[in-house]
Structure 1
Amino acid sequence: MKKILPILAFLIATYSFAQTPCENGMAGQYPCNGLDLLSRISLNTFGTDRGNDSWGWTDPLDGKEYALMGLGNGTAFVDITDPVNPIYLGKLPTHTDSSTWRDIKVYNDHAFIVSEAGGHGMQVFDLTRLRNVTNAPETFTEDAHYDGFGHCHNIVINEETGYAFAVGTSTFGGGPHFVNIQDPVNPVAAGGFSGDNYCHDAQVVIYNGPDSDYTGREIFFGSNEDRISIVDVTNKNNPIPISNGFYGSVDYTHQGWLTEDQRYFMIGDELDESNFGFNTRTIIFDLSDLDNPVVHFEYEADVAAIDHNGYVKGNEFYLSSYRAGLRVFDISDIENQNMVETKFFDTYPTSNSARFDGAWSVYPYFASGSIVISDIDRGLFVVRDHLLGVNDNSISNFAVAPNPATEIVTVTSKTEPIAQVEIFNVLGQKIMDLNFTESLSENINVSNLQSGMYVMKINSTTTKRLLID
């Protein structure tokens, strides 16, 4: 118990940004649609004045979820297993100087961190150390360091092969610098590729897409300033360029991600909005033939913000869009050149203009459904798609009042008798299960519930959000 008390004291003193449902287009001060705010941690809490990249790690031992956020002066590690009550566990300081740019990826329970700071190289941090933090927030030390390059813009990892690809270094003309990380704390230089311009960001996969000529090969998809670059990197000693993809009104080819069937590559150009006047533009390449990538179509959103990092999960595309925050698109009909914005959470509520503030990146891959947004100005956000995946049934036979409640909440019905009331917390755990003798009004004692947001299910059919003060 004594080990837990310092963490609890820190939480009470630090976290004031509690869960807020998205109602009538707002979650507190933040414009939204379909995404609830579960929590936010400010940059001040992290001891920095600037945020950047983010990634995530799920502990295979117990399923706990952790957000990893890049800062100007290091990397923050946050336990978001309970996303309403995140625990800032500590920071790994930068290896050299502070920098606007820091990038993080995960392989084999280790974080690999690079930065544009001079001489930074690649830090390696054993994430299993987060299991044993008893005096948060701690100041961590790196478990290993790779100095085969100094500054580095970004890092990409193919978890299937255990290779990291550092891009935007001073080596290989800024092209990918290969590192064998199969033994994470003993990274080994493995060559590189300098044959196709400076690379800003990339994705590397074992290819299983529609072009059977490359099935089973390790393919590198680079966003290389004015083009996409496709390279066969199966043999690290002999990487083979395959093709380039070009598009109109190019200004700075920034970052891209494959659809799950590996047929399409969705990229963003970081400067086309500010320099050409586009609304947020996504260019979708058809990669049915890797030797001949062609533009399938271009999509312009309703806002003018600059797009930054985008990731695909299933039939959804999660795009961090700077001043417009996180934007989520349905891409299930991408074959017919259709994509539709379905949800958003705007972390920069004062403007959607084409400037470099707001949401830097997003991590949508947690099994719980929690989504991490790292914001340059406002820190770490945790949001979720309609709490527990359940929508309020606002038009129903049942009413819940008062809401928010403190001690007693009353459920009433005009016609349908109340037979059962279940209450779930934000983790989806059932914490109350009450059965009644089919009356039209029931009082429920909620005084033992902690402040926060819950879901109430009535008669297994109607769901209501319940707020406890």
Structure 2
Amino acid sequence: MKFKDLIYARLTTCKCLVLVTALLLSCCANDDNNQNNSNNSSFPCENGFANGHPCDGFDLMSHISIEELGGEGAVGNDSWGWTDPETGKEYALIGTSTSAAFVDMSDASNPIFLGRLPTATTNSPWRDIKVYNNHAFVVSEANGHGMQVFDLTRLRNVENPPETFTADVTYTEFGSAHNIVINEDSGFAYAVGTTTYSGGPHFVNIQNPTSPTAAGGYADDAYSHDAQVVTYNGPDADHTGKEILIGSNENEVVIVDVTDKNNPVQISTINYNNIGYTHQGWFTENMEYFLLGDEVDEINFGINSRTIVFDFSDLDNPVFHMEYLGPTAAIDHNGYVVGNTFYVANYTAGVRAIDISNIDAGIMTESRFIDTYIPNDNTAFNGAWNIYPFFQSGNIVVSDIDGGLYIIRPSE
């Protein structure tokens, strides 16, 4: 049984818990209404809480429920963001089990749900979204889903929200996919966990977003759960300017030169102690370190949330650098680096911001947090799935399995 099947089983058997959580979140929304006659209000973090959510250093700007975004019975999953280059407006792109939802968050305290792009085939707990050249690229583990391409500039002219949208085009060279990665410098997308290339990355040329074309793939290291692809400008001069893929491949991290799509070449691999499920990772901005999350180590080994840090200053010889243990036993999921901060969606423990300014010395320190999942911090598949911390405004998108969209920002 693949790990994705395990999660699906856990999600299915936890349906009652999801319903209870929805009731709890509904109560929170009612509290919002009582205070400001709207659940889209700004709630500063005061005395350790922001509208009932435990916090330290993050304010809750607003919330839109998963039921509103995805419909009755929906659950949340991935998210991304888009800034309109003409208007400067910020938009949240939220994956749900039924669709991709689009939210105008230019007023973060009063976001507007503009509508949704329904799944291409059937519903699925897994949907992933990335953005390139003002287009959203949506994949799912739904059978035969392919890759939907949606022109985000259409969101400028939504007159009667919420609307039901259709894709501009659907790429069908693969069926299902677990995730999609885009290198915006090169204009190539990399679908991972597909039904092609043994689950390894499937390359797609998206330089013309509405005419995506197959560009090969890489099967040598088998199933890839997630990846980051960059045009490399880090400390290893041997690889400067090359297109480098770092794959989180269930039981190891692989580094592959994908510059020549017809001849991708493995550079190196690395594993680590207490492997549960090598899930997802992200470079520091100087590309010296790679911060990795393992999704099942908390379950398998009874440890607190763990981030494994590798020294990637020599891509041909990556080495273990340190590990960071968080304050709870919640499962860490997706994490991203902005400057000297590592933002982690930490499932039942919400969003954790970790100061990595002293990472050279082996020191990482939690600086802020907000818990989107109020009931507990258990080692379970509930709560914050993904975050998008890249908006220039400082607003951060949080997609929560049970709660939907939360917009947060660092406290003043």
Query: Counterpart in 1 of 2:193?
Result: 168
Query: Counterpart in 2 of 1:332?
Result: 357
In 1, the alpha carbon distance for the partners of 2:147 and 2:195 equals 14
Q: Is it true that 1:187 corresponds to 2:212 in the alignment? A: yes
**CA deviation profile, 1:105-137 (whole Å, cap 9, x unmatched):** 000000000000000000000000000001000
Shift of 1:214: 0.3
Query: Counterpart in 2 of 1:18?
Result: 41
Higher relative contact order (Cα pairs below 8 Å, separated by 6+ residues): 2
Shift of 1:288: 1.1
Query: Counterpart in 1 of 2:27?
Result: none
In 2, the alpha carbon distance for the partners of 1:356 and 1:215 equals 39
Aligned 1:309-320 pairs, distance under 5 A: 309-320=334-345
In 2, the alpha carbon distance for the partners of 1:304 and 1:75 equals 30
TM-score computed with the length of structure 1 as normaliser: 0.79
Aligned partner of 2:209: which letter?
A: P
C-alpha RMSD of matched pairs (Å): 1.0
Query: Counterpart in 2 of 1:445?
Result: none
Equivalent position to 1:42, from 44, 52, 65: 65
Superposed structure 1 runs of 4+ greater than 6 Å apart = none
Equivalent position to 2:111, from 83, 86, 96: 86
Query: Counterpart in 2 of 1:124?
Result: 149
- Where 2:331 maps in the other structure, the secondary structure is coil
Shift of 1:197: 2.3
Query: Counterpart in 2 of 1:303?
Result: 328
Question: 2:59–2:408: 8 Å Cα contact kept in structure 1?
Answer: yes
Question: 2:63–2:406: 8 Å Cα contact kept in structure 1?
Answer: yes
In 2, the alpha carbon distance for the partners of 1:280 and 1:354 equals 9
TM-score computed with the length of structure 2 as normaliser: 0.90
Q: Is it true that 1:29 corresponds to 2:56 in the alignment? A: no
Aligned partner of 1:368: which letter?
A: S
**CA deviation profile, 1:75-119 (whole Å, cap 9, x unmatched):** 000000000000000000000000000000000000000000000
Query: Counterpart in 2 of 1:440?
Result: none
Aligned partner of 1:168: which letter?
A: G
Query: Counterpart in 2 of 1:225?
Result: 250
Q: Is it true that 1:241 corresponds to 2:228 in the alignment? A: no
Aligned partner of 2:295: which letter?
A: E
Aligned residue pairs: how many?
Answer: 375
Shift of 1:16: 2.2
Query: Counterpart in 1 of 2:304?
Result: 279
Q: Is it true that 1:342 corresponds to 2:367 in the alignment? A: yes
User: Percent identity over the alignment?
Assistant: 61
Shift of 1:349: 1.4
Change (3 A) 1:15 1:127: farther
Aligned 1:198-277 pairs, distance under 5 A: 198-277=223-302
In 2, the alpha carbon distance for the partners of 1:119 and 1:265 equals 33
* Larger strand share, 1 or 2: 1
- Where 1:131 maps in the other structure, the secondary structure is helix
In 1, the alpha carbon distance for the partners of 2:41 and 2:399 equals 17
Shift of 1:17: 4.0
Aligned partner of 1:68: which letter?
A: L
Question: 2:40–2:109: 8 Å Cα contact kept in structure 1?
Answer: no
Equivalent position to 2:167, from 124, 129, 142: 142
- Where 2:198 maps in the other structure, the secondary structure is helix
- Where 1:324 maps in the other structure, the secondary structure is coil
Gaps of 5+ in 1: 1-11, 391-469
* Larger helix share, 1 or 2: 2
Equivalent position to 1:359, from 373, 380, 384: 384
Gaps of 5+ in 2: 1-32
In 1, the alpha carbon distance for the partners of 2:279 and 2:165 equals 31
Aligned partner of 1:218: which letter?
A: E
**CA deviation profile, 1:179-230 (whole Å, cap 9, x unmatched):** 0000000000000000112100000001011111100000000000010010
Shift of 1:170: 1.1
Q: Is it true that 1:115 corresponds to 2:122 in the alignment? A: no
